[in-house]
A and B are shown apart, each in its own frame.
Chain A
Amino acid sequence: MIRLEKRTAPSQFWTYAAPLLAVMLTMACGGLLFAALGKDPFVTIRTIFWDPLFSEFAWYYRPQLLIKAAPLVLIAIGLSFGFRAGVWNIGAEGQYILGAICGAAVGLAFYPTESVFILPLMIMAGALGGWAWAMIPGVLRVKFGTNEILVSLMLVYVAQNLLASMALGVMRNPDAMGFPGSRNLARYPSATSWINESAGLHWGVVFAFIAVIFAYITLSRHIFGFQVRLSGQSPRAARFAGVNPGLLVLICMGISGALAGLAGLFEVAGPSGLISIDFNAGYGFTAIIVAFLGRLHPVGILLAAGLMALTYIGGEIAQSNLRLPAAAIQVLQGMLLFFLLAVDVLTHYRVRIGTRRIA
């Protein structure tokens, strides 16, 4: 009989080896899938995982990796605090939308004035919008004991409807002949979040790196990081250690909401450019997966977001060069996530084969 025995401390070896194992398992299973679809598995795998980084046109794809990964990193870093402390904000998608709406509203309100203060104001509005949206489940949990997983999820649907009404209503571009969607903020010099478009650099990328560093220091050096970790591992011990659980919930929700809002704002003011009905492309949900794949560790999140971005970009190349259906990429991503989540068991548990001994 196979059984699992909890390790007293996470295995150092498997912390690093497990993700590699998962990627290799995915390549093996993905290869079988591609072969079944009549594609050369080796070429396909190389196209997805290798070409974006090292092919002839890698000079173009590498910056694109930054663009794709930045919102994921930003959101996932915010979420990781809460997830460590047992605060389950799964409504980052909604906070991302609200950040974009609030930030864009500020930008659009100033159009076409030019001033250096517009972008900073938008950034504040974006963070505030995401923060406020996250405060709803936060406050409801603290005051009424409602489940924040569910409330934050419900608020995603509310946010999506709000987005549609904004794109079709008050934010509609008056010069667009009745088509939905706002003005393009990326074309509005004072509002754009682009720093250097061909280098893939916008303020969201900068903030993502700052967030990683900030999170790393907070979690490893600061008392707040200690409280977060303690609350997640043992809520009772945390209370004895003087942690105010309600406040901790609010802070964790606030950080994740504000960062998700920032991600939305940077996206709408740069890469995406405008508020449209389908503005949100699922970053908020993907970031949840990224946070777990990165084992809730800032550096891990950075790597996980990079890996996800790689499969998106490589997947597109495989679609156009090898005629792989988009669905096959989705299945591959699904498998990659499954394997990454599954192998984590090796880090925290020892696999024992044999009959159960009575201790």
Chain B
Amino acid sequence: MQANPSYNRESRLSMNKLRENGNALITRRAFVESLCGGFGAIGLAGMLGADTAAAAPIGPHFAPKARHVIFLFLTGGPSHIDMFDPKPALHQYAGQRPDSVDLRTERMTGGLLPSPFAFHRHGQSGAEISELLPKLAAVADDLCIIRSMYTFNPTHTPARNLIHSGNIASTHPTLGAWISYGLGTENRNLPGFVALSPSPRYSKLWRSGFLPSEHQGTHFNHSQTDPEKMIRYLRNAKLGPDAQRRQLDLLTALNRRHREAAGPDAFLDARIQAMETAYRMQFEALDVFDVRKEPAAVRQEYGSTPFANGCLLARRLVERGVRYVHLYYGPGQPWDDHKEINENLRKRCPDMDQGAAALITDLKRRGLFDETLIIWGGEFGRTPVSEAGDGRDHNPYGFTMWMAGGGVRGGVTHGATDEFGFQAVEDRVSIHDLHATILNQLGFDHERLTYRYSGRDFRLTDVHGRVLKELLS
């Protein structure tokens, strides 16, 4: 990895405040030295070195534009037709079912269902955004809206797997794991890959697959605001940081010795590493995970719903060096609006709109916007034809996602669906293209970020993927 001193944000860490003034450090050094006894210099360096990195990350292939990614995931499949992709023709042909929309989706659908929401042009770019999203409309010039996304499967689980891992099976490593594998963590006190979800139900979506297990996402329940509720067992009732450090040094010495005798094993390495991360997280997390420490004005800007807290927390995490935050909107599949699209979107959009827009504004204010790539979307979009009269079925043929920050051009509306919003027809963008672009912004050639497994090199984009150069600044 190309050493880049600016990557190390250790100096900011609250850990340092809690322990290790100069003398304590020497004492620890002496302590570790005596633990390692006969190992000599190598053992000692290894032990103290456990602080920095267990497995050296691959490191970027070229100068990165972005250093962090926040994926705002609207589980269930949000309706592009009602948010970002206006289709006046739906009004003209309401209730009809022309041949071109007679496509098979998951369920039975009827005639064309016009969007009940008004669209207007916003910002200098004139991006068309529906009335549901006034706050995102206000930052329209920061958004790079891709109206021509498509995926391959009309069912939730396979489609979700595809957007998370580039493959419909539940076995391949997920995007966050690839990023952690490629970049490691920028902050040794926090995991490199964090999944924020109110429920552990979809834990497979933050798996590391066949990548070493240290790269799997660490899950936190962001519907809680108190870190001690969000993360169980965060505090040790008896031991202070120094005492626990001693204990962990002993444990690490024992584990490293065992590791040498047992031979190479990914699990043993991962657990040594996880133990260190856990130790540091105790101190870091009380601070980082506590969104209540934000000024009232900032919290107000985001809102107070779980999603809003998640957005704010995501900002706090990337600010402290977490590489990849995947934020799930709500438990289950809230955006799966098979019926009552009008009422449901009116209910659900405001806090999503506010949280996402506040995240953009806040990152900009802090100078983090350019180095943080935000991705917004779900596993697919929804059909222009109705289901159950007032709902929309899953639509893998065409849907909208947007990116912002991280070296992506703002004020862009890219690609197009057909006249009804069913199929992506112009400048089609596949999930693999999106993945290739995300990796590119982080400094990776997606064709070269590979992992050898079961006799061949695997990559996130399999044999596909094109970097969307036209969308990059």
Query: Real complex partners, A and B?
Result: no
Instruction: Give chain B's interface residues, CB within 8 Å of chain A.
Output: none
